[in-house]
Structures are given as C-alpha cells and as structure tokens.
Amino acid sequence: MTSSVTEQGGTTSARRFIIGDIHGCWRTLRALLDKAGLNEADEVISIGDMVDGGGNSAGVLRYFRHTPHVRAIMGNHERKHVWSYRGQVAAGDAQVETRAQIGEADYPAALAWMAALPNYLDLPEALLVHGFYLPGVPLTGQPPMVLTGTLEGEALVRERCAWPWYEHYDGEKPLIVGHRDYTGQQQVLNFRDRVFGLDSRCVYGGNLSGLLLPEFRVVQVRSCE
C-alpha cells in the first residue's frame, strides 16, 4: 500500500515552503530558511533526501523531527536507511556515514521516524513526491519505488514512459519533485507550470532551492558547506 497524506484545505494566510534535496547540508538549510522570511504560521516541508552526503545529517533530521509546523516525505535515501537497517538491501557508504553522524543511541528513533514518512503529500495547491510519477496511473496506484525514486522505480518509468517523464505528467494538480537536477544548471525546473523540480545539487556545491506556496515563488541560496 502506498503511504500518503491527502489534505483538503480552506482559505488560510499561512504559506507552505517546499524544500528540495538537502542531503545533510545543515548550514545551507539554515541560510535558506533565513532567506525565505517565514513566519510562525508558515509550514516547511522537505521533498525528501534530507540525509546522506553532507556533514550534518543529524542536524537536518533533528530540525525536521522536532520543529513545529515542519514535516517531510520519503526520499530514496530515507528509504535506503530503512531498508538497509532491516537487512533488505546493503547500506552504502553514505548511509554508514550518516548513521555515525546520528549516533547509535539515536539511530533507531531516527529510523522509526523515517519509516513513517509518507511517499507523497496531496496538498490543496500541489502534489508532492520525491522521485517520479507514472502517467495513466491513479495516484493511489503509483508504486512506492516510483514515488520515492529508487533505481528500480526509475527503470520502470523508463520502460513505460518516454523520457523525460515529466513531459507526460497527467495529474490534475501541479507536481513538485526532487531527486534530480533536470536543468543540468543547478536551478529549479519549471515545466509549463505543471512540474517543478527542486533538486539543484546543494550537496555538490550547487544551490539549495525551495518553492513558496501558494505563489510558487522560488527561493534559493548557494551551498555554504
């Protein structure tokens, strides 16, 4: 079953700030939040891949686990932590490093939190997934490996859909994703105001990008790791 959250919202003055792949870049995340100029009523949502690669995945996880009005969806890196801990896949170097950053005492609790993350969020303004979306398949029928962007999920999308897949997105709402820099220029993808890609390669010295809803305004900072 696909883990999910669907919301029906009325009018509200609060905004939502959707953040692309952070990958443990805690200092850059703080810089982005400062630049966004959020207030206490605004909500922050990670599009997934909060961990692995940067120097402070523990700090990023603490923020998303314990801060009010803050939440996240599952990315392929969170999924790999969960699956490797269960012995279903082998942990990579990035997972080993992040586990060491978090510490053995807190790692089981962090794993439990990651395991409970939804594979998508269906917001009033947009649909959020980390990885991909198969055209012609209802949201509730999307395979979790596709939504979270695993290698197997990408292979399935390439098998069923011409590339780039986002040109064939057929959902009713705008779709916001992470996982990959589709522009190749460390910038936010905007495909016809229908699909927005927020991964701008912060962990590789690029940018960390966010999208403010409901105005769909890009906020971006250069990596300061």
For residue range 64-116, what is the model confidence (pLDDT) as tens digits? Answer: 999 999 999 999 999 999 999 888 888 889 999 999 999 999 999 999 999 99
For residue range 115-169, what is the model confidence (pLDDT) as tens digits? Answer: 999 999 999 999 999 999 999 999 999 999 999 999 999 999 999 999 999 999 9
- Between CA 128 and CA 46 the distance in angstroms is 10
The structural domains of the chain, with segments of one domain joined by +, span 15-222
For position 10, what pLDDT does the model report? 45
Local confidence band at 7 (pLDDT 50, 70, 90 cut-offs): low
Local confidence band at 14 (pLDDT 50, 70, 90 cut-offs): confident
Local confidence band at 16 (pLDDT 50, 70, 90 cut-offs): very high
Identify the CATH number of the domain defined by range 15-222.
3.60.21.10
How are beta strands 16-19 and 207-213 bridged, if at all? antiparallel
